[in-house]
Structure 1
Amino acid sequence: MSTRGEFRPKAETPAESGSSQCTATVCTFLHVVFCFSSRLIKVKTILRFKKRWIRWKTLNYNWLSFFFLGGQHGNVQPFSDEDASIETLSHCSSFSDTASVADDGGEASEDTAQEDFQYKLKGFIDSTVDKSAKTRQGALDGLKTAMATRILYEFISERRMTITDSIERCLKKGKGEEQRAAASLACLLCIQLGSGIESEEVLKTLKPVFKNILADGSASIQARQAVATSLGLCTLVAEDDILDVHATMECFENLFTRSCARGDGTCPSVSPQTSQLYTNALLSWALLLTICTASQIKDILRKYLPKLPRLLESEDVNMRIAAGETIALLFELARDMDTDFEFDGWDELCDKLNALATDCNKHRAKTDKRKQRSVFRDVLKGVEEGDFQSETIRFGTERMTIDSWVRKRTYDAFREFVGSGMNYHLQANEFIRDVFELGPPMLVDSATMKAMKIPRFERHLHNSAAFKARTKARSKFRDKRVDVGEF
């Protein structure tokens, strides 16, 4: 007999015992199913969800029993030794499957990097309307760098109007470097969008602003220089009406003709910044020559070919070089239409080109003379013989040959904006590949690229052989006189 007040535990009924065992079985089954299904999830995600599962099972075990067994609660431990052993096995199996989820982890890291990159771009776009001019310029430069080094068509097409409005606002209200950055960004935006309705709408919005800045003598000279270059390439990419192209060329003609020598042979006195503006206008005008119709080229040859040789007398070496390359380009286009093309001032023009190709005036800098002589030797060959010094551009597993003045002017225009990302755009940008007739982009995996890479030792042998051949070729033209000293 028990004494009064003694505590005696209540005996567990068979129903309660069965309820406890059933609850434990259900929980164990659910846990095993969860462990096996979680093997397809990333390792970090597995560990996080397991902790949540343990916490949930510990805190809500009675609720689970009530849900499955109709409210009969049993005296079962919330986390038994059997569960612990299963948990340990699940951890081991998860770590053994690390190799199987490595690819998923790599894809996840790439996705995360892409999300971070897009988040940063969104921040740049938002900062283009900031009150601080320095912040706006930094945002424009950030967008320029991103567009020059990556293909962002989908991201940009969704935010095209926002970016266009930001560029227009910076061009109208900004000053100097901010306007310069905005003009360059407009050009990169058209390159990303390619030739189509989207880029046409961008140009339709920005072209009036460009022309106003270009014609405004009181505007910043840096902004006018950038606009002169950007308007030319944007017109090449996005303009679909040849009459509008001709109207844009007239804007450039009104600028670079101011640098022509007068009738008495004297050159107008302009500042170096203004001379650079005229040079940019001439280069953009030459770029648009490449898409003109045959009838327009005939009119231009008749009207401007006699005037362009006057630009060869400019004091600015960049203007002289731009004028020489434009003359060679015009002769190439003329001979494509008529192989027997003749120019009235042929002899005088060839004399000027020959003088510039052998220029040795002491009042000019050595670097300027070296660059000028190199360019005008090619220009003289192009005008006299119709030849062009071809150049091969290598990018990835492909090669592109620049074999004409038209192709050279187009390549130089794109490279001026894209910069070091030109090879990447030649590989991946469908519009640029279409311009240079490279076909659709080629997809080459990293293993193939590595297999096609030339070993370092072979590259060294090739460079040594090329250096030896170049030295022998140059030695034929070097002075062989021997210094005998003084007596």
Structure 2
Amino acid sequence: MPRTKKRSSRGGQNVAVQPFSDEDASIDGLSLCSSFSDALSVADEGGEVVEEAAQEDFQYKLKVYIDSTLDKSAKTRQGALDGLKAAMATRILYEFISDRRTTIADSIERCLKKGKGEEQHAAASLACLLCIQLGSGIESEEVFKTLKPVFKNILLDGSANIQARQACATSLGLCTLVAEDDILDVYATMECFESLFTRSYVREDGSRPSLNPQTTLLHTNALLSWALLLTICTSSQVKAITHKHLPKLPRLLENDNVHMRIAAGETIALLFELARDTDPEFEYEDWEPLCDKLNSLATDCNKHRAKTDKRKQRSVFRDVLKAVEEGEFQSETIRFSTERMTIDSWVRKRTYDAFREFVGSGMNYHLQANEFIRDVFELGPPMLVDSTTLKSMKVSRFERHLYNAAAFKARTKARSKFRDKRVDVGEF
């Protein structure tokens, strides 16, 4: 997907934005950013005063959080980091953050270097949210240049806190996607990830490395970040990576950890998709053994595995098998406000999953209002929607009930006919 490096010009979007979902939000309670205000009816004078006071109070709290990241108490610093994370995940704060990006980046760096475990994890996550807010441009590049060496030092330091290393593996990947301005540096970061997840490969003699669950999770995070950066590689680099890693990645499918198996399967599907986009005549030498392995995971019935793990694994590997055998992807539609976005490829899925890991429940809101994320998913500029239109589109609970009941009845009848046909075929 195209990503242009540009200086953001979103001064109109400020902290007055409130998070909401497309179905459950109360229209009267929404507080949209100033870039949407022209399309809304003008509030009465008293309402404007109340909203302005609330905005000032919120900004004051953010300033307190920023100052508290330097507090002597680890508990206070942790609370401040979590408060900033929650704000950035659910609001557009570009104007407020842009003026304070250096201060926030310095606080993140300090917490990463001097903090422990959970504090380092929170600081690494905040770094990603800061880059998401700033977008792909000069501001985020400056922040990332400060934090990248710290991320890599922690990631590759075997004596560092394992929780911090896990967080850095994930955050370094997304920050690189957003803010790295040199493709050669992207490749160098991918090599850092390779040096980790390749240690989980089953050896050629069939022996498995002895790794504890926390180290396996570190390797899983590294693999997922590597796959994320794979989505922005050039065609020539995709060919080189496919030749080097596709024969070896299936070894990860034998890992005892279900999350590693799933990450490996999705990465293999992504590699096949990119390889075929680069070369429509692409063929994999060990295609049949790979399909057999994927099919066994899609129908796994091992009793020693948890039911929830088996259920999730089967679902994922059915899709992976289709991708490898037929080049198909099970598309998914994401609804937000009046818009729809289709996840129609493994590239889009890996990118969407990466952003959603940090933004969480605020993802639909960012898809609607965050210019950078809209640019990544090619959604165009944010749409202007007035409150009257939103109200007219809101379906009542009773209407939803009638629709669901009718759909259920039609589905039951269709399935009954299908079952009758199967019986007739069997008897014949």
Tell me the TM-score range normalised by the shorter chain: 0.7 to 0.9
**Alpha-carbon distance in 1 for matches of 2:409, 2:72:** 60
Cα deviation, residue 474, structure 1: 7.0
**Alpha-carbon distance in 2 for matches of 1:373, 1:225:** 26
What does residue 352 of structure 2 align with? 411
- Tell me whether 1:459 sits opposite 2:400 in the alignment: yes
What does residue 73 of structure 1 align with? none
Cα deviation, residue 338, structure 1: 1.3
Match for residue 367 of structure 1 among 281, 290, 308: 308
What does residue 175 of structure 1 align with? 116
Q: Give me the identity figure in percent.
A: 84
**Alpha-carbon distance in 2 for matches of 1:324, 1:175:** 33
What does residue 445 of structure 1 align with? 386
Which amino acid is 1:215 matched to?
Answer: L
Cα deviation, residue 309, structure 1: 0.3
Cα deviation, residue 206, structure 1: 0.2
Cα deviation, residue 271, structure 1: 1.1
What does residue 347 of structure 1 align with? 288
Cα deviation, residue 468, structure 1: 4.2
**Alpha-carbon distance in 2 for matches of 1:428, 1:242:** 28
**Alpha-carbon distance in 2 for matches of 1:206, 1:455:** 48
Match for residue 104 of structure 1 among 39, 42, 45: 45
**Alpha-carbon distance in 1 for matches of 2:210, 2:411:** 43
What does residue 175 of structure 2 align with? 234
- Tell me whether 1:287 sits opposite 2:228 in the alignment: yes
What SS is found at the alignment partner of 2:44?
helix
Relative contact order (C-alpha < 8 Å, sep 6+): which is higher?
A: 2
Cα deviation, residue 461, structure 1: 2.3
What does residue 149 of structure 1 align with? 90
Report the CA distance shift for 1:472/1:297 in structure 2 as closer, same or farther (over 3 A).
farther
What does residue 264 of structure 2 align with? 323
What SS is found at the alignment partner of 1:392?
strand
Alignment of 1:239-318 (within 5 A): 239-318=180-259
- Tell me whether 1:192 sits opposite 2:133 in the alignment: yes
Cα deviation, residue 265, structure 1: 1.8
Cα deviation, residue 469, structure 1: 5.2
Unaligned runs of 5+ in 1: 1-100, 482-487
What SS is found at the alignment partner of 1:123?
helix
What SS is found at the alignment partner of 1:399?
strand
Q: Deviations along 1:393-426, whole A, 9 cap, x unmatched?
A: 0000000000000000000000000000001000
Which amino acid is 2:299 matched to?
Answer: T
Q: Deviations along 1:454-484, whole A, 9 cap, x unmatched?
A: 222221122224444555677768xx99xxx
**Alpha-carbon distance in 2 for matches of 1:109, 1:312:** 57
Match for residue 144 of structure 2 among 203, 219, 229: 203
**Alpha-carbon distance in 1 for matches of 2:413, 2:316:** 23
Which amino acid is 2:332 matched to?
Answer: E
Q: Deviations along 1:155-202, whole A, 9 cap, x unmatched?
A: 000101000000000000000000000000000000000000000011
What does residue 165 of structure 2 align with? 224
What does residue 32 of structure 2 align with? none
**Alpha-carbon distance in 2 for matches of 1:470, 1:353:** 31
What SS is found at the alignment partner of 1:252?
helix
**Alpha-carbon distance in 1 for matches of 2:410, 2:59:** 50
Of residues 451-460 and 418-427 in structure 1, the stretch that sits farther from structure 2 once superposed is 451-460
Q: Deviations along 1:249-271, whole A, 9 cap, x unmatched?
A: 00000000011101122321211
Calculate the TM-score normalised by the size of structure 1. 0.76
Which amino acid is 2:134 matched to?
Answer: L
Cα deviation, residue 272, structure 1: 1.1
Which amino acid is 1:130 matched to?
Answer: D
Which amino acid is 2:159 matched to?
Answer: S
> Number of residue pairs matched?
380
Alignment of 1:373-392 (within 5 A): 373-392=314-333
Q: Deviations along 1:109-153, whole A, 9 cap, x unmatched?
A: 110000000000000000000000000000000000000000000
**Alpha-carbon distance in 1 for matches of 2:390, 2:271:** 40
**Alpha-carbon distance in 2 for matches of 1:111, 1:218:** 49
Report the CA distance shift for 1:356/1:120 in structure 2 as closer, same or farther (over 3 A).
same
Report the CA distance shift for 1:420/1:397 in structure 2 as closer, same or farther (over 3 A).
same
Which amino acid is 2:174 matched to?
Answer: L
What does residue 78 of structure 2 align with? 137
What SS is found at the alignment partner of 2:342?
strand
Which amino acid is 1:439 matched to?
Answer: G
Match for residue 398 of structure 1 among 339, 342, 348: 339
**Alpha-carbon distance in 2 for matches of 1:228, 1:470:** 45
Calculate the TM-score normalised by the size of structure 2. 0.86
Report the CA distance shift for 1:474/1:202 in structure 2 as closer, same or farther (over 3 A).
farther
CA root-mean-square deviation: 1.7
**Alpha-carbon distance in 2 for matches of 1:338, 1:363:** 41
What SS is found at the alignment partner of 1:274?
helix
**Alpha-carbon distance in 2 for matches of 1:205, 1:129:** 17
Match for residue 100 of structure 2 among 159, 181, 188: 159
Cα deviation, residue 340, structure 1: 1.4
Is the radius of gyration larger for structure 1 or structure 2? 1
Q: Deviations along 1:39-67, whole A, 9 cap, x unmatched?
A: xxxxxxxxxxxxxxxxxxxxxxxxxxxxx
Q: Deviations along 1:342-379, whole A, 9 cap, x unmatched?
A: 00110110000000000001111111100000000000
Cα deviation, residue 452, structure 1: 1.2
What SS is found at the alignment partner of 1:261?
coil
What SS is found at the alignment partner of 1:201?
helix
